[in-house]
A = this chain, B = another copy of it.
Amino acid sequence: MDKTIASVREAVSVIPDGATVMIGGFGGSGAPIELIHALIDHGAKDLTVVNNNAGNGHVGLAALIEQKRVKKLICSFPRSADPRVFTEAYLAGEIELELVPQGTLAERIRAGGAGIPAFYTATSYGTELAEGKPTEEFEGKHYVRERWLKADYALIKAELADPHGNLTYRMAARNFNPVMAMAATYTIVQASKVVELGGIDPEHVITPGIFVGSVVEVAKPAQEEELNRAEAVYP
């Protein structure tokens, strides 16, 4: 079994129009820029995207939105240093937004990966983001019932990967990547380095390979923040 694939182009070629795609990262940290750009080249449209944010500048997720591939965005914080692409699409009614509190977003994704169809959280109780959701009192405190969130595909940025898909992450670039890897039917990983089997200490594996569909090496991956400081535009 070898989950490695030669190119980002090939890796994302399985994604059809209309797919739900989770994209890792928190702002630019942990954002799989090369996979996103390959997805733009691939051309899939009418996507539902799950990400913490809504892109920054004109690269990565912002570029995917600018190319009008995203029908709906599920996120917690659609603002950034340069949020114009999303803002204009949203105010023009071209993109649907489901706003989810950040911790609830993370837990809904983890629940999707862990087979938990619904759970209760105090987060958002009594606010407009809880409207229409069942609520219940446990031990004197009020909670909102939230549903799991799953995806057809996840695009993940890792640091090391082995051929079975065991992964590590780099610093705070970990963020949403491990839970999204769990919650997608098929998880596509770009790793800065693919090491041989056994190249990751069994105790240092963050995402076990069971959650990974394919792995492509992208040495020296682009950092969204640096692209934006250089005013990059994709394509």
Which residues of A are in contact with B by a Cβ distance under 8 Å?
107, 111, 114-122, 136, 138-139, 141, 143, 147, 168-171, 174, 202-204
Contacts and interface: CB of A to CB of B under 8 A. Distances in A.
A119 B116 contact: yes
Contacts of A168: 203
A129 to B, nearest CB: 17
Nearest to A134: B136
A117 B145 CA distance: 10
A35 B202 CA distance: 27
State the oligomeric state as a number of copies.
2
Contacts of A170: 203
A120 B148 CA distance: 10
B118 A169 contact: no
Given A168-B203, A203-B168, A204-B204, A122 B118 contact: no
A117 to B, nearest CB: 4
Nearest to A118: B120
A119 B111 CA distance: 9
Given A168-B203, A203-B204, A122 B115 contact: yes
Contacts of A118: 119-120, 136, 138, 143
A114 B117 CA distance: 16
Contact of A203 (B121, B122, B139, B171): B171
Contacts of A203: 168-171, 174, 204
Nearest to A204: B204
